[in-house]
Structure 1
Amino acid sequence: MSNAKPWIASYPPETAPSLEYPRVSLTHFLEQSAATYPDNNAIYFMGKRITYRELLDLSYQFANGLIKRGVKKGDRVAIMLPNVPQTVICYYGALFAGATVVMTNPLYTERELIHQLNDSGAETIITLDLLYKRVTSVRSSTPLKRLIITSIGDYLPFFKRMLYPLVQKKDGHNPQVTYGSDVEPFLSIVKESANSPVKIEVDPEHDIALLQYTGGTTGVAKGVMLTHANLIANAVQCKAVLYKLKMGRDRILGALPLFHVYGMTTVMNKGISIAAEIILVPKFDVKQMLELISKTKPTLFPGAPTMYIGLINHPDLQKYDLSSIEACVSGSAPLPVEVKNRFEELTGGKLVEGYGLTEASPVTHSNPIWGRSITGSIGLPWPDTDSRVLDPSTGEELPTGQIGELAVKGPQVMVGYWNRPEDTAAVLKDGWLLTGDMGYMDEDGYFYIVDRKKDMIIAGGFNIYPREVEEVLFEHPAVQEAAVIGVPDPYRGETVKAFVVLKQGMEASEEELEKHCREKLAAYKIPRLYEFRSELPKTMVGKVLRRQLQEEDKKQREAQEQIKTS
């Protein structure tokens, strides 16, 4: 049954079911694009443009600077930066030097930072002057030997660069950095280093290009080992699925953080592999995004549902032209139907849902952009990607239409977790990656995720998937966002609680929402409890943190119990 791969018949004719993957280092894409399109813009950042020739030179300079400072093949180099040109330069520079990149979230607390630096063993970190204090405060608890400090101002256009220190002071940011032999400014390292090509031999199948830490939404963050071959494969697959994109012609809106594997693959690696111009957005602000789209005319906008929700609900939307956008792939959280339809109406482009996870570099499925896209489905497995639905208790493959745990296999699947053989063995079985997501496949090979295995609510013996309830709440005209969790119930074991964010200036009562749900859901799925909020807690890529909502709800219950008993 598993050999059937019914999804291949649903592929558009332009996408081949199997592809060729060059056996090269990930840096090959940058060298190729710089050789073919040296004068094309590689990066646009707040008015500053960097060509492919310049980007390659800067990456070589940074690589030579690292090597001179003792960075050897296989050493881990941490990059803790927002979306600025330095992120791209340091990423490719570290890879040219033969190092393994450790992407680090700039929002990490000291505790998270200590864990990641100790776990990865990174001795070098590149970070912003604004984060210098936080990094210095953890330094003695980590293996760090070398700090390389950069500033947002380093790659701003001339006038903005002159004004930047004044803006920082006005905002109350006046970072004081103490430079020395082990704390150096990024710009001086680049300037004093030669731009001669660096060739460190890399075995793409086995050498780890990236240690990408999982979001830690399930306990402690684990380092996912992704090889050069894994990341090359995902960029090549991405190119085959987005077959209308042309070399040297497209512009990609880089609003997803590059320190997250989704942005790293779909914006940076993918962008550089097709010599696209990458429009870097350091901070997602809806109004600024609308202005930027109007001005820079991106053709591709990979994003997360929260980004599209923010744009379509902005009061000044009418003033902006979004028609340059041809294609968007939404990931990291379910894409509500209403959002998809409205966004396509506004841009004239296509917005489809995809699916992936850090352990798969990250993309494994997406809807065909210029083919049959099914709302509510994560689409078809990507070329050379196999996908099955397994019985969570027996591990047996389930027939079409039955819900079980999604498992995937393909050239983009990680080699394992860094220094965690037991954790690796628990999710990797004969090359199959167990995703922890519950879903099913239809007869045409389209896959549907019903929820995380651990988010499923069991009320009175019935299985309830939060996503289904959230979809129904989203359909109410006053609802901007909704998240659903299971909370303890003395009678049913668990019951459904909904957290709701209403659209600006709109109202809806609990009774009204209940009536709305009653028309569309079986009685046992209807939320019994509601909590209205102005916003929901989210990760950097807009995934709602259900676990945080559960913890907050638990605290609230415990406090109420104490009041009752006191």
Structure 2
Amino acid sequence: MEFHHADLFEGIADAIGDRLALVCGDVRLTYAELDAHANRLAHHLAAAGVEPGQHVAVQLYNGVEYAATVLAALKIRAVPINVNYRYVQNELRYLYNDSDSVALVYDVEFEERVAAVVAEAPKLRHLVAVGGEPALKGAVAYADALRDQPATRGFPARSPQDLYIIYTGGTTGMPKGVMWEAAQIIFAFWNPTMPRPERPGDLVEQARAAGPLTMMPVAPLMHGAAQVATFIAWWMGATVVYTRRFDAAEVWRTIEREKVNSLTITGDAMAIPMAEELARGGYDTSSLFAFVSTGAIFTGSVRERIQKLLPDTMVLDRFGSTESGSTAEAVSGSSPEKGLRFAPDVTGVTVLDDALRPVPPGSGVIGQVARSGHIANGYYNDPDKTARTFPVVDGRRWLLTGDIATVEADGSIAVFGRGSQAINTGGEKVFPEEVEAVLKGHPAVYDAVVTGVPDERWGNRVAAVVQPVAGQDPAPADLDAHCRKELSGYKVPRVYAFVAEMKRSPAGKADYRWAKQIAQEA
């Protein structure tokens, strides 16, 4: 057995096969049943010519088919490739080709988009359709793919250096494939409350000895946070619960029905509608002891609202990225409005200055959050970006996360925002996250995204795209007065654009390209 997702899952399935592994709607599978399901699909993919090291694209909503496809690819040493289900033709054409995918498992409701570009992805030679009979020539129905395939294993030996790729980004450009070695990603995202195993068998024994636990990744599985949360749950011998798509009411109904103990969301885009739905009442949340946000900004005012609604639940904000893993926990009082401060809970996390030297604690020197040790290999098909993002300094390989920060005297890291989104206005830097958080503290603001628009005098001016609370009509003057109570004048938006619905990714990430266009039009 290796530190490899497929090896470890199989070991756990052998140890606790009758324990419930996955629930989605009416579907309930034990570890043994999910393992057998994934085995059948793995044998089908191998019979279709998918070889070790080749890539299998997954364009699905949450469900047993998504989890089984990821496991099936890993079982035959292939690499699952997550596809954003909102992508349209140009984005799909890019991703199919950039990832060099040779097979695609997709929901039939996406078939029109798939059919429009599949001929322009010459390496993509095998298609499996979930949810009905495909109309696309050559595509195989998922049920037919499983039929007559053995539920047993018989796969080649695997390596802890086998790749796991997660495509991420797309807020300012096309997505990029983050490459991990299997063992590295397992430990980079390791649950800090659990002891780290020295041998693969130790992890299996931990899962065997664990008590009953039900965990729910709320984000879509096409987002790395949900994939990682799924494997973390399995390493704990837990039951993973999904909803097919994000709907706040359905999430709370599922938490009540399945007695969920821990859930993971991605920032405000999920937390705000979940808080609104919970405030309407009628849900039993007594089983829930952990509400965790990761992968996106979790505004202080939103976090406080969640905590008031769930007074007996731990509400946590984790810091990390697809490239770095999970690295830190927000300290008491941390928020985008008052200042984000995180305490690293793994070794190798620091802030590097412009010369790529560690920032002395308490010096006030500004640099980039960086991590060494368990970090990604780089970006697929992009050696230049890999070299820039993963520099080697004095023989030590670092990841530069792009998060601008300094180190406080107590060793905590104060994060100002993502450098690539910073707005330079008259020589001053404005980090959108801080302004967005203040705006979302206004009672008439449901959501906000802040960007820069050209200005003849200052180079750029701060602009805000705002989605009001339903039935509210906030005046720019009121928002201006609200912001000036919390922000320096140069940070206050000069332009407001009001929209009926904010455009975000399924995982809640802001679409800054769209926001900039809307703001420029305003």
TM-score above 0.5:
yes
Deviations 1:162-190 (A, max 9, x none): xxxxxxxxxxxxx75256xx422222222
Q: How does 1:277-316 map to 2 (within 5 A)?
A: 277-304=239-266, 305-314=268-277
Supply the distance in 1 between the matched residues of 2:503 and 2:489 (Cα, whole angstroms): 28
Q: Secondary structure at the match of 1:236?
A: coil
| Aligned with 1:194 (options 147, 150, 154) | 150
- Which residue of structure 2 aligns with residue 149 of structure 1? 129
Deviation at 1:141, TM superposition (A): 1.1
Aligned alpha-carbon RMSD (Å): 2.5
Q: How far apart are residue 545 of structure 1 and its match?
A: 1.6
Matched-pair contact (CA < 8 Å) for 1:365–1:378: no
Instruction: Name the stretch that deviates more: 346-355 or 87-96.
Output: 346-355
> How far apart, in 1, do the equivalents of 2:497 and 2:346 lie?
43
Counterpart among 355, 369, 376 of residue 319 in structure 2? 355
> Is 1:207 matched with 2:207?
no
2:483 to 492, 517, 523: 517
Q: CA deviation at 1:39?
A: 1.5
Counterpart of 1:387 in structure 2: which amino acid? V
Deviation, 1:99, is 0.8
1:437 and 1:251, CA in 2 relative to 1: closer, same or farther beyond 3 A? same
Structure 2 Cα separation of the partners of residues 419 and 288 of structure 1: 39
CA-to-partner distance for each residue in 1:429-485, whole Å, 9 max, x for gaps? 122011122122223332232111122122222222222222222222322222222
Describe the SS at the equivalent of 1:283.
Answer: coil
Q: Alignment partner of 2:264: what SS?
A: coil
Correspondence 1:464 to 2:422: no
Is contact 1:63-1:198 (8 Å) kept? Answer: no
Structure 1 residues 112 and 62, CA, compared in 2 at 3 Å: closer, same or farther?
same
Q: Deviations over 1:343-366 (max 9, x none)?
A: 122222112212222223x42323
How far apart, CA to CA, are the structure 2 residues paired with 1:178 and 1:398? 56
| Counterpart mapping for 1:265-284 below 5 A | 265-266=228-229, 268-284=230-246
Partner of 2:194: 240
Provide closer, same or farther for how the CA distance between residues 345 and 221 of structure 1 changes in structure 2, counting only shifts above 3 A: same
Preserved CA contact (<8 Å) 2:2 2:8:
no
| 2:178 counterpart residue number | 224
One of 80, 86, 97 as aligned partner of 1:118: 97
Q: Quote how far apart the aligned CAs of 1:312 are.
A: 1.2
Classify 1:107/1:518 alpha carbon distance in 2 versus 1 (closer, same or farther; 3 Å). Answer: closer
> Which residue does 1:4 correspond to in 2?
none
Kindly provide the amino acid, as one letter, of the partner of residue 186 in structure 1: Y
User: Following superposition, which runs of at least 4 residues in structure 1 exceed 6 angstroms of deviation?
Assistant: none
The 5 Å alignment of 1:376-395 reads 376=336, 377=340, 379-384=342-347, 386-392=348-354, 394-395=355-356
**Letter paired with 2:286:** S
| Alpha-carbon shift at residue 512 of structure 1 (Å) | 1.9
What is the 5 A alignment of 1:310-349? 310-314=273-277, 317-347=280-310, 348-349=312-313
CA contact (8 A) 2:129 2:139 kept: yes
Q: Distance in 2 between matches of 1:338 and 1:316?
A: 15
**Deviation, structure 1 residue 211:** 2.4
Q: CA deviation at 1:83?
A: 0.4
Q: Which of the numbers 195, 220, 234 marks the counterpart of 1:257?
A: 220
SS at match of 1:192: coil
Counterpart mapping for 1:342-491 below 5 A: 342-347=305-310, 348-360=312-324, 362-367=325-330, 374-376=334-336, 377=340, 379-384=342-347, 386-392=348-354, 394-400=355-361, 401-411=364-374, 413-430=375-392, 431-491=397-457
C-alpha change, 1:92 and 1:298, in structure 2 (3 Å) is: same
For 1:27, what is the secondary structure of its paired residue?
helix
- 1:185 counterpart = 2:141: yes
Return the alpha-carbon distance in structure 2 between the equivalents of residues 404 and 120 of structure 1.
Answer: 32
Q: Which amino acid aligns with 1:293?
A: I
Cα deviation code 1:415-442 (max 9, x no counterpart): 1122322221111112201112212222
Whichever residue aligns with residue 48 of structure 1, its letter is V
| C-alpha separation in 2, matches of 1:378 and 1:535 | 30
Give 1:533's aligned residue.
499
Contact 1:237 1:383 in 2 (8 A): no
1:74 aligns with 53
- CA distance, structure 1, for counterparts of residue 460 and residue 75 of structure 2: 53
1:62 to 17, 23, 41: 41
Q: Is the 8 A contact 2:405 2:414 kept in 1?
A: yes
**Does the CA-based 8 Å contact 1:478-1:508 persist in structure 2?**
yes
Amino acid at match of 1:40: R
Matched residue SS, 2:415: strand
Q: 1:109 aligns with which of 79, 84, 88?
A: 88
Name the amino acid aligned to 2:129.
Answer: I
Match in the other structure for 2:17? 38
Map of 2:200 onto structure 1: none
| Distance 1:521-1:367 versus aligned 2 partners, 3 A rule | closer
- 1: CA distance, partners of 2:474 / 2:102: 53
Quote the offset at 1:284 in angstroms.
Answer: 0.8
**8 A Cα contact 1:323 1:346, kept in partner:** no
**Cα separation, 1, equivalents of 2:176 and 2:270:** 27
Partner Cα distance (1:36, 1:317) in 2? 42
Cα distance in 2 for partners of 1:241, 1:506 equals 49
Q: Tell me the equivalent position of 1:86.
A: 65
Distance in 2 between the 1:207 and 1:239 partners? 26
Residues 530, 132 of structure 1: CA spacing in aligned structure 2 closer, same or farther, 3 A cutoff? closer
SS of structure 1 residue aligned to 2:178: strand
Whether the aligned pair in 1 keeps the contact of 2:463 and 2:519 (CA below 8 Å) is: no
Corresponding residue number in structure 1 for 2:110 = 131
Distance 1:289 1:525, change over 3 A: same
Distance 2:341 2:215 in 1: 22
Farther off after superposition, 91-100 or 291-300: 291-300
SS in 2 for 1:321: coil
Percent of residue pairs identical: 28
Q: Choose which of 31, 38, 43 in structure 2 pairs with 1:52.
A: 31
Counterpart in 1 of 2:518? 552
Shift of 1:96: 0.7
What 5-or-longer segments of structure 2 have no aligned partner? 197-205
* Cα distance in structure 1, aligned partners of 2:125 and 2:356: 46
Secondary structure of residue in 2 paired with 1:90: helix
Aligned partners of 1:234 and 1:265 also within 8 Å:
no
Equivalent pair of 1:487/1:496 in contact (CA under 8 Å): yes
* Among 442, 462, 475, the residue aligned to 1:496: 462
Cα-to-partner distance string for 1:392-414 (whole Å, 9 max, x where unaligned): 4x333333343322211231x11
Deviations for 1:178-212, whole angstroms, at most 9, x for unmatched residues?
Answer: 56xx42222222231112223322221x321x222
> Cα distance 1:239–1:232, how it changes in 2: closer, same or farther (>3 A)?
farther
Distance 2:365 2:447 in 1: 29
